[in-house]
Structures are given as structure tokens and as C-alpha cells.
Amino acid sequence: MKRFKQIFTNQQYIYWLFLFMAILPNIFMLFTESTSLFTRIVQIVMPLGFYAWALTWARKPGKMFWWLFWFMFVDAFQIVLLWLYGKSPIAVDMFLNVLTTNPGEATELLANLLVAVIFVIGLYGFGIAMSIVSLRAKTMLSDKFRRTQCRWSIPLLAVGVLMLVTNIFVDKKFRVLDDIFPVNGTYNMGLAVQRAVKQSRYDETSRNFTYKATTTRNDSVPEIYVLVIGETSRADNWSLYGYRRNTNPGCSAIDGLVVYRDALTMSNTTHKSVPTIMSSAGNEAYDSLYYRKGIITAFKEAGYKTAFYSNQQRNHSFIDAFGSEAQEVKFLKDKVSLMELRVSNFDDELVDCVKTRLEQYDGGKLFIVVHMYGSHFNYKDRYPRNEAYFKPDNVISAERVYRRELINAYDNTIRNTDKVLSNIIRAVEAKGVNSAVVFTSDHGEDIFDDSRGCFLHASPIPTYYQLRVPLLVWTSRSFAEQYPEAVANLKAHNQMPVSTNMVVFHTLLDLSGINTPYKDNTLALSNNDFKSHQRVYINDHNEYRSLDNCGLEQLDIDRFKKQKLQFP
């Protein structure tokens, strides 16, 4: 016992423990990252030299542990993300997801990352405990020990800096703020704070924005348009897209539905994708979101009554702001407890909202936006138990070994989305007026689909499964009779490659006969002037990158080719 106590109160042992904890993520990333080998070596040499030197600045390493606590925090965060995504440094979107992910979704995710969470809590919690032991111990690091560590750590740091400078000139793809951990994590945290501040000022920066929208149609002509935004729904699991399972029994039986085979999202995160779907920012600089309003405002300016129904909780994002532009606003889960959110968060209630609004419809022009909870993990909580069509669907843990159960549960969520969407379409159809319903999903999902073992979405580097999403447009019989050219154009363009974040806004304006200086007919699927545009991905720093320059791997490219989709 005495020997045990001596070991755990030895300041030198504590020094080495803290050094190990600080450099551990860098060691992991030596094997996980796709950067050059030289870059990955720099990522170990330079931080290791710095940490070893910094830990000698005080006679008690416990003191330096707290001075370096930010790095320890980032290290813990990074290890969990490596467990989840298998690679990549902490992204800006990861920090923002902490602010914009509702509590129910977050706890569901953490509950299925118990191994990683327990590991980092155990390791860095032990580090906190040892820092206290170090500070309270009477012993200190000897001057000899500190000098010895400086003799190798300072030269190592110098070598690391030299290698860093060399890499800047040799590797054209290398960027310090992107490729060196924890520099990139710290920089990304700063960007996240900056964006959060800009978001908090949105009401002020967008106050004077106007679409100057007008309608080209007679005010007395009744029209209903609905935008339904799904969540985490990937096209590959829709039978409408050739999936072997019958996941779309409802929509498959609906006449007037056009399916767009080659549709991709521009972002694998909800807080980016949904706002660009709901605004004209998809084909402009992403930061234009901070200064403009959403599609609901365009319809309001054109004389439409508007409604927004969301099956999610408010999360202080653009989605909240754009949804709140409507005259009738309902966030169905605003007052739902965390436990209730986990066990009863079904999208069926959204159908009731739409039906209730349509029962009140007495003619005129109406625009409704519906935001689903969709297929967010934990999948088995997204649909009623008696609608578990594919079994077994009881997911014990988010691991590859349970992929069959995960796929069964996920496919059940797609059937639920199909039911909700088809019921909304039939409710609109029953009104017998000129109408259209547009559906797309914010992004897709990884479900241990290949050798990489990727799971979920919002990874710093996207995958094919996160990008390919369903895009459907339904028009009523009345609309088809009144505007046959628009319907013909919708059908003529269904095989063309499109970005959902670009085309949805402009297609809805075109279908409804709304004009605005922000409307682009070349992005409206219903317009004769439509043409394909280069598809891009909005990366973590809000830069638009072409598909062949956004990190997609050969496995993703092969999947594009197998599905006969355009790449890039």
C-alpha cells in the first residue's frame, strides 16, 4: 500500500501521465487521418515537444494540467469523435451541433457511445484527480528532472516547427489551421463562437431584408403549396429509388409524383442544410444567410397565408428564425420532457396539424412548411411499436455487429416518413385546388455500410450515404390541367443531377407563380430554362467545394458509379 501511494504521489509519474494524456489523440490520428505521412508526423512531433516543455514550467505538473486544461478538454472531445467517425479533427459544426442539437437526440447518441464516453471520463477524470494529488503533495519536480525534460523537449519542438514550415512549402494541400491538432480544434472553436454570435444578431442583420416578391396569378385563384423537409433520410433506402425492400407503399400509390433520381444535399448537417433549403442562399455565399429571410417571407410578400409545423424543439438556429416568419407557428416538442421526447417523438402529429389547417381553408393562397424528425437515431423511437414492419429492430448498441437491427429500424423510419408524406399529399389533394407538395431530406446517414464502419451523419468529411437524398415533387390534377408545361418540365428534368439546397426554393417559387429578383429560373425544376449546375459541398469552414474536392473517398466514388449518378 505504501509503495502504491508512493507511485501515485510521485510528481515524475504524474508528469508522464499528463504528457501521455495530452498526446494520445495525436497518436490515434497518426493512424486515422488521410493527410500525408509527413503531416501526421509533424502533428505528433511539434505538440509532443510543446507539451513536454510546458509541463516543466511549474514544479508541480498538476498546476500545468489546469493551465493546459483547454487542450485536455479538446483531447477528450477528439477521442469521442474519432470513436464515432473514425477520423478527422473536431469541426466547427461539431461545436455548433452541441448548441443546435436538441437534448433528446444528444442523449440518445451519447447513450450509444458509452464505451468512448466512459473511456474519456475515466482517463481525463483520473487526470483531474491526479492534478489535485499533485497540487496537494509536498514533493515537487526536481530541477534536474525539469532540465532533463527541457533538453529534449525544446529541440523536439524546434524540429517540429522546422518540419511544419517545410510542409507548408512542400505540401500544397497542407494548412496548419486544418491539419495540426489541437491547433485546428482550437481554431474551429473560435469560428464556432464567432458564428454563434452572428447567429444571435440575426434579427438585427436581417430586419430590413425583403424579397420584393409578387405573384403573377390572380388573387382569386385558390392555391396550396407545401414544403416537407425530412430528416436523415437517405435515398438508397427508399423503394422509389430501387431499394429491394418496400419502404414506400404510400407514395408508390400516388399519381402525379415525380422522383428525382440524382439528388444530393450540399451539407450533412441539419443546421446548414435546412436553412439553405428554406432560403435562396443555396446558390450564393453561405454567409448570406445572416442577412436574409426565408422562403416563408417570400410567400407572405406575395399574398400567401403561411404556416410552419415542426416536430423538433427550438434550438436557436436559422431554422427557428425562418419558421417563425410564418403567421401560424408550431414547434410540437417545445414543452415535451426529455423522456417523452425519446419514447413518443413520432411525425404522425404533423399530419394532424396539416389536416387541421386544411379544414380551416376557405380558398385563397396557402403555403405550409413541415419539418419532420424523420430518421434521427435512435431509429426505433421514431415510429409506433405496432408499425415495426421490419424485425428484429431492437438496437442494443450502435455497433457494426447490430447492423441488421439498425437497418431494420432505419427502414421502419423510412416507412413512417412515407406514411406521413403520403397522408399529407392526400389531404392536400382532397381540397381539389391547384396544389403541389415538395419533399426532400436535409441529409442522409451512414449505417456501417462499408469497410470504413461509418455511422450517423455530420462527420467532418462527408460520405456518399450522407449526401444522396430523396427529392420528390407532387402536383395535383387541377395543377396539371392548369399548368401542363410546368408538369412536363418537372418530368423532363427528373434524371438530371441536382442539389436540393439549390433547386427547392426556386422550384417552389416557379410552381406558385411568384416573382422576385432572387428567383433563378435555371434552378427551377418546373421551368423550361432549368439546367444542371456544378454540385458542391459546404465544408466545415462554409466554403463551397466541388464533389471531387470535399474529401469523398474511392468507396464513395465507386458508389456513385454503381448507382449511375453523376460525379463530380
Residue 563 vs residues 85, 464, 466, 552, 567: alpha-carbon distances, Å:
24, 11, 15, 16, 11
* Helix-helix angle 11-32:69-85, to 10 degrees: 40
202-562 is classed in which CATH architecture?
3-Layer(aba) Sandwich (3.40)
In the numeric block, which cell numbers belong to residue 362?
Answer: 376557405
pLDDT for res 6: 61
Contact 332, 326 (CB under 8 A): no
Q: What is the number of H-type helices and E-type strands within the chain? A: 23, 15
Contact 229, 528 (CB under 8 A): no
Give CA–CA dist 309/316, Å, rounded. Answer: 16
Q: Burial of 118 by CB count in 10 Å (0-12 exposed, 13-18 middle, 19+ buried)?
A: exposed
Give CA–CA dist 233/468, Å, rounded. Answer: 9
Beta-sheet strands, E only, within 476-535 = 498-499, 514-515
Closest CA to 470 of 436, 445, 441: 441
**136 contacts: CB under 8 Å, gap ≥ 6:** none
pLDDT tens over the chain, length 568 residues: 555 556 667 999 999 999 999 999 999 999 999 889 999 999 999 999 999 999 999 999 999 999 999 999 999 989 988 887 888 888 888 777 766 665 555 555 555 567 788 899 999 999 999 999 999 988 999 999 999 999 999 999 999 999 999 999 999 889 898 899 999 999 999 988 998 899 889 999 999 999 999 999 998 899 999 999 999 999 999 999 999 999 999 999 999 999 999 999 999 999 999 999 999 988 888 899 999 999 999 999 999 999 999 998 888 889 999 999 999 999 998 876 655 555 556 999 999 999 999 999 989 999 999 999 999 988 998 999 999 999 999 987 778 899 999 999 999 999 999 999 999 999 999 999 999 999 999 999 999 999 988 888 888 899 999 999 999 999 999 999 999 999 999 999 999 999 999 999 999 999 999 999 999 999 999 999 999 999 999 998 899 999 999 999 999 999 999 999 999 9
pLDDT for res 443: 97
| Ranges of each domain in the chain | 2-198, 202-562
pLDDT for res 110: 57
pLDDT for res 80: 86
Contact 267, 538 (CB under 8 A): yes
pLDDT for res 22: 96
Quote the pTM value. 0.90
User: Exposed e or buried b for every residue in 320-359, given b needs 16+ CB within 10 A?
Assistant: bbbbebbeebbbbbeebeeeebbeebbbebbbebbeebbe
pLDDT for res 486: 98
Closest CA to 322 of 343, 352, 292: 292
H helix or E strand, kind and range, residue 62? helix 61-67
pLDDT for res 96: 76
| Phi, psi values for residue 538, rounded to 5° | -85, 110
pLDDT for res 112: 57
Q: What's the one-letter identity of residue 544?
A: Y
